[in-house]
Each structure stands twice: as C-alpha cells, then as structure tokens.
Structure 1
C-alpha cells in the first residue's frame, strides 16, 4: 500500500506557473554537484547524508524532527543560482514540515506554518488531519528526485519534482501494524508547487498540485 492513500487537495496554479512547470528542463542555469546537507533535510544525488531532518537553522527557523523509523531523501544538485537554490532548500523543508505534522499528529506545528502558507497550508492541514482522523502514520523511506526550478521575478518560484513512495508504508498507530503490500504505479507522484519569498527571506510554498501515478516519475 502506498503510504499516502489519497491525493493532496489539488490546488490550481496560475497559468504562468503551469506553463513553466510543464516545460521539461526549464532550469537553464548550469548545475554543479553539491551534496551538502541543508538544515532540516537530507540531500544528495547518489549518496546519503544523515537520515534525520533534525537540524535547526539561523533566523528563527524551526527544528524539524522525524522518528527513527522514517526518513525523506532529497536528490538534487545545486544550480549555482542563489535564489533557485534557496527555493529548492525551502521546498524540501516544506515537505519535511508536512511529514513532521503527521508524526506529531498535529496540524498546528510551528514548521508547517513556517514553510507553507495560503492555499497550500490549507491543503496540507486537511491532508495531515486525515492521517490524524484515521489514526495512521508512515514508516520507511520516501525519495524525492527530478527537481526543476523556475524563477519569476525576485520573489516567486515554481518547483516541480517527483516522489517514490515504494519503500514507505502506512502504519496503524493503535495496532502498530504496518501495511507492506507491494507498491503499484501510484507509489510515484509528480508535484507542481508555487513558492513566494516572504519578508524574512523564507521561500514559502503557497500552492501545490499532486498527480499520483504520473508516468514521468515512474522507473
């Protein structure tokens, strides 16, 4: 069974965002390999760093903590463009903030509201609440890959990426039973996101659309 049994609430991006995200290889800047860890997340292209997103950052960024039996792995290379790289980093922290809220069984965690806002925050709250209502969490490893980022002006970015949930599983919190049913095509998800840089320099996710089973993300 896929660890995310239902799609995120689909939120329509602007036409400009949809066009920029649908363009394959929209990042024209040369990419230099850099596997440095970012605060609160694991990064890397082929190698893995610390699995627990528990580091805090400067500027009042909240600490994000995962349980020992779950981790997210982010595979991307830095672009060399400071704004794009910052948007990519905060995009991964947005992802981690949603999962931390699931683990904490609370849609009111500091990180969730720190890295997400507007319609994306509303959608994520609904999404987290479903896990809470169902008495579920997840274990294992989720891989995020094929990141692409496009800037629009100084404060707007569009990030698209894939996830592989074939090694992460739904766990019933009451019985501790883990559903390890074989993964299907629905274990692979395409995400289109819109981010806006706030006054504190944080790239907050404002809109998100997910497409489960998308062929572009499947092996």
Structure 2
C-alpha cells in the first residue's frame, strides 16, 4: 500500500513496549493541508470523532476509542440480521479503529489495541503501529471496508474476511503535519484481509490471526 508503511517483518521490541507508544517531541498536533487540524499529544477530546458507523453497544465495559478529525472509517454492509455475526463484525470494526487510534493519536498507552487483539494478531498490530512511528508518519483521510463476511469455524471460532480501499487515505508527516495528497490511486491501495476471531471470557470477539493480500483481484 502506498499510503501506509509496510508491516515490519521483525522487531526487537516487545509487545508491551509497543503497546505503550508515545510520540517523541509531541509534534503530531500540527495542521494538515487546508488547515485541517489533527489531534496529537495534549490535544483536547473536542478535536476527535468516533469511527463511523458506531458499532452497537452490548453493555460490555470497553476502552474508549476516539479518532482525530480527518480520520474516518466507513464500514459497508450494515447489519446481517444474525446477532452473533453482527457482534463479530462490531468487534472487528472496533479492532480496526483501535489500530488507527494507536497510529494517529499520541498517547502513553493504547489499551484498546490489546483489548481487541491477541496472540499473533496483537504482535502484528503492534509492529504495524510501530512502523508508522519509526517512519515518522501518520495518516489522514477515509478508509473504506467492504465485502465483509463472517464464517463460523470449529471450536467456537470464526473467520472474518473483508476488502479495504485506501485510495482516500493520505500519509502525514508526524513532525511537520504536512499531508501528501499527490499520491495517485493504484491497485496497491486495495487489500483483502482474512482474520480469525474467537470470543474471550469477557465476551469480546478478539482477533487472533490476520493474513492480507495487497492488490487482491476480488477487491478491485
């Protein structure tokens, strides 16, 4: 994908360290192109907005997730009519938002990241987030998620598959706040994801593993 750094193949940092990422210099609170203000270290909550659409509330106490203005996820497909599938898709949405929050909001901790991911998926998410910080980048714009499907597996697990369209998401320099909107759209801005989820003791459908294919034909 052109708009986001490639997932790091390996890292010497521990998951615990990655989950407590904070910005160096606190410079992510600058303005993007066109005067669009992006939330950063020390930013007030009034500068943030929730992912759209907001998943249904099931009464479980969850860590709050807030994304900066200018960062938005659009999940297509709506409700399936199956309560179990809808709950799985809702937690998948929250997991995606937790990763985006860790990338775009500078904070001492990002509790939602480990709330919605475990095992290999938690490690890969933490490495992915760290890649942005090491590259000195964040992002703004809208990311579209579509063709989302849930397939029930054995042992109470399920597979969640979906396509991602990042043609309207753009890299932002963490130090200067400058957004690069010059990148032309390409097939690399589309990807297919196959994730495995399982319900934990708290009732959360945690993502355990993730595989992805950039430029997948079924998503173009």
Q: TM-score, normalised by structure 1?
A: 0.75
CA distance in 2, matches of 1:145, 1:7: 22
- 1:137–1:55 CA distance, 2 compared to 1 (3 A): farther
- Residue equivalent to 2:137: 136
Cα distance in structure 2, aligned partners of 1:174 and 1:57: 39
Query: Are 2:7 and 2:127, in contact at CA under 8 Å, matched by a contact in 1?
Result: no
Tell me, which stretches of 5 or more residues in structure 2 are unaligned? 10-49
Aligned counterpart, 2:210:
208
Residue 69 in 1 paired to residue 70 in 2?
yes
Find the residue that maps to 1:137 and give its secondary structure: strand
Give the TM-score, by structure 2 length.
Answer: 0.75
Q: Number of residue pairs matched?
A: 180
Which residue pairs with 1:125 in the alignment?
126
Q: What is the match of residue 116 of structure 2?
A: 115
**1:101 aligned partner:** 102
- After TM superposition, the structure 1 = structure 2 runs for residues 45-64 of structure 1, keeping only pairs within 5 Å, are 58-64=59-65
Whole-Å Cα distance in 2 between the matches of residues 67 and 162 of structure 1?
23
Q: RMSD in angstroms over aligned alpha carbons?
A: 2.4
Contact 2:5 2:132 in 1 (8 A): no
Moved over 3 A (4+): 53-58, 105-108
3-state SS of the aligned residue for 1:207? Answer: strand
Unpaired segments of 5 or more residues in structure 1? 10-39, 44-52
- Residues 149 and 159 in structure 1, CA contact (< 8 A), matched pair in contact too: yes
Please name the residue that 2:177 is paired with. Answer: 176
